[in-house]
Structure 1
Amino acid sequence: MSALKIKKGTSRHSAYDLRDPHAETEERHTLAVVVDNEAGVLARVIGLFSGRGYNIESLTVAETDHTGHVSRITVVTTGTPSVIEQIKAQLGRLVPVHDVHDLTVEGASVERELALFKVSGNGNDRIESLRLAEIFRANVVDSTLESFVFEMTGTPQKIDAFAELMRPLGLVEMARTGVAALSRGMD
């Protein structure tokens, strides 16, 4: 450690870029994993990430074919290109996995996330929160004399932007579903 107590390395929030300039940069990737819908499959897929120290930024799971008992797991993760390739290869080797798609590299895709925001406020803050909700196309799904619950669907960046604007107006609580994504086009 230096005299300034700056640790070697950096985070994305650091003012100091101490990373090796020749190292591979980390990228954000959205992976769609088609799996058998049976007990323990999600634990095996997620265990692959945690056992190797890979981070999951977002996770969404739902059955997509009731008759075939198939589910789709959408995982947003970050890593160097070689780490992402290793993740995809290791996922593909798991027995209950049918298919692994990297939506980030396979072409254009659509990503959406659902979020609920509880905002508490009175007077002008209440009016301003309603005005911002209208601009962001958020719906009021619950209203009391002291608070609102807004529902919004959009990109993760849009949801982050709305949350930042709501914080000074009385954002109390937020719940997010995680990213759901599909590739665009016929494939």
Structure 2
Amino acid sequence: MDDGILGDAVARARDGDETAFSVVYREVHPMLLGYLRGLVSDDADDVAAETWHDIVRDLGTFRGDGSGFRGWAATIARHRALDHLRRLKVRPRTTALDERTAEPLTAQDSEDIALDNLSTERALSLIAELPQDQAEAVLLRVVLGLGGPMAAKVLGKRPGAVRTASHRGLKRLSERISGGPGRSDG
């Protein structure tokens, strides 16, 4: 979806149009979830729920286009993720989650979902091995599709620093995938 259409949907959602909000959610949530998986792994769904709570709460204050909304949502997600990571340092998880509580997949969707999840999990696991600045830059630029200036705003850095981190991260990922020199962390 292009930024103009997303921006229109955001404006209508801000005015209370529930259908427009569902369009915004369906467009932004998968990318936001991918970004959060790169930051907080298995806790991405919980952090995404907190993020959407904040987005809904503060949507009336947002002004901007589709790209601005993606950046605003990414900023909120990043803050929630960092809060989550700080809480884990204070109160580390002591038990594994029971996977039996997950809802079953429908038969027709399970094969496609499994293939998507394998490639997504592999990509996110490789991104998670990058230094944090490179991982976040790649997640924002590639997964969320933010431009350099918007990604820089989310991270509180200069656009050139984000472009450099993104370039280095993508180069390192490429080397790891091809089995080149980037396989070691040196």
Shared topology, TM-score over 0.5?
no
Which structure dedicates a bigger proportion of its chain to strand? 1
TM-score (norm 2): 0.23
- Largest Rg, 1 or 2: 1
Higher helix share: 2
